Amino acid sequence: MQRRTFLQTLAATLAGPAVAFAAQNRPQRILLRSSWQTVNIGDIGHTPGVLALLERHLPGAEVRLWPSDVRNGVAELLQTRFPKVPLMQGQGAIKTAFQESDFLLHGSGPSLVAAKDVQRWSAETGKPYGVFGITLPSAEESVLKLLSDARFVFFRDSVSLQLAKDKGCTCPVMEFGPDGAFAVDLRNDAAAEKFLAAHRLEVGKFLCCIPRLRYTPYWKIKDRPFDAVKHARNEAMKEHDHAPLREAIIAVTRQTDCKVLLCPEDQSQMAVGKELLFDPLPDDVKGRVVWRENYWLTDEAVSTYVRSAGLFGLEMHSPIMCIGNGVPALVGRFAEQTSKGFMWRDIGLEDWLFDMDQPADVARIVPAVLSLAQDPAAAKAKAAEARERVRARQEAMAGELSRQVAMVQS
């Protein structure tokens, strides 16, 4: 018995250094908190964008996804593109992910979306975390505390970065870091080619246009109560916001050989596009405009965008995914949105950013849209320059993440 006890003690003693050595030499383990909703292809796009960045810049890391919503075909979309990334769903899986992961990465989004989950991770594990590409729409004390305690925070627009600094955020690494959706490389070429053929849209011979109301009417597409105040604002501004887009559509179809595809970024926008863009068009223009009546997922949308001559409209993430793939894209923004639109200034595309509340900016829209069709080479060159700025910053973001995870393992 004494000999057996001695051998067990010896084995345990020798195993200690071996376990520590194995921990230091195993792959980095990153838990990505992302995937906020599926009613918007931009919200879908955050996750595959960040996953593509991690795949490219941290190829040896083990990445797990902790999603909020991957319904409606999004889980299959992600698993097809990233078969090695497991989805942590259910409390058992999340508990395991907490135990085994080295680092929590909060993905890009309109805010610190999963603030409560970041707090939970910190309280339960004591392990570090960081934030990739968010907007800071406001500066609540609890959020600033979480950001200050992060190893790094990358803000997707300089306005948010400055707000964090002004409000006293003390995170050691705070920098501009573009939205993760810039890195989306999803494709569904078969679906895109089938749609284009059915509607006689030729590669490089059409522009995409996306409408948007001041406030997304979530009461129509999600289980949310009707908001009379937001609806009234939408009704008051919808003609003001979409009339310039109609003028651009008319100019493109009458003055160039390009057609226009009206397409959605969220599930409410097919109806918006028909009411405010397609139906009021002159008859001679309607024949050169295609209205997409069905919602799509991010892979088919990107496969369509890369076959276009460019995109314009009132949304943000379709332009982001366009620039990330070298496709020219114009952004219209208004006061009701967060500061995310200002990232266009941050990546050198201020000429392609339009404040819909400023008459001088509205007056620039038609000439700018026409330029995409009339001088596609120049437009693509400008988009390519912006893409390179984004890629340089995202490489730096991934480098900081790798450095911080390596510190955990050392």
Nearest to 298 by CA among 125, 83, 49: 49
> Is there a single domain that holds both residue 101 and residue 81?
yes
> Is there a single domain that holds both residue 167 and residue 194?
no
Within-domain flag for 132 = yes
Q: How many domains does the chain have?
A: 2
> Average per-residue pLDDT in the chain?
94
Residue 122: strand pairing partners: none
- Given a cut of 70, the residues of the chain with pLDDT beneath it are 1-24
Per-residue confidence (pLDDT) for residue 21, from 0 to 100:
37
> Is there a single domain that holds both residue 281 and residue 405?
no
Q: Which amino acid is at 307?
A: R
> Is there a single domain that holds both residue 163 and residue 305?
no
**CA separation for the pair 366, 248 (Å, rounded):** 5
Residue 31: strand pairing partners: 64, 104
Check which CATH number belongs to the domain holding 234 and give it: 3.40.50.2000
> Is there a single domain that holds both residue 141 and residue 211?
no
89: buried, middle or exposed (CB in 10 Å: 19+, 13-18, 0-12)? middle
> Is there a single domain that holds both residue 95 and residue 150?
yes
> Is there a single domain that holds both residue 340 and residue 300?
yes
71: buried, middle or exposed (CB in 10 Å: 19+, 13-18, 0-12)? exposed
Per-residue confidence (pLDDT) for residue 24, from 0 to 100:
58
Within-domain flag for 384 = no
Q: Which two tokens stand for residue 60?
A: 């040896």
**CA separation for the pair 247, 319 (Å, rounded):** 20
Helix (H, G, I), strand (E, B) or coil at 287: coil
> Is there a single domain that holds both residue 274 and residue 141?
no
Half-sphere exposure of 176 (CA within 13 A, CB side): 16
Domain span at residue 342 reads: 189-374
Global pTM reads 0.93
In the sheet where 153-155 sits, what is the strand order? 62-67, 29-34, 103-106, 129-134, 153-155, 174-176
> Is there a single domain that holds both residue 370 and residue 399?
no
Per-residue confidence (pLDDT) for residue 181, from 0 to 100:
98
> Is there a single domain that holds both residue 286 and residue 239?
yes
> Is there a single domain that holds both residue 8 and residue 64?
yes
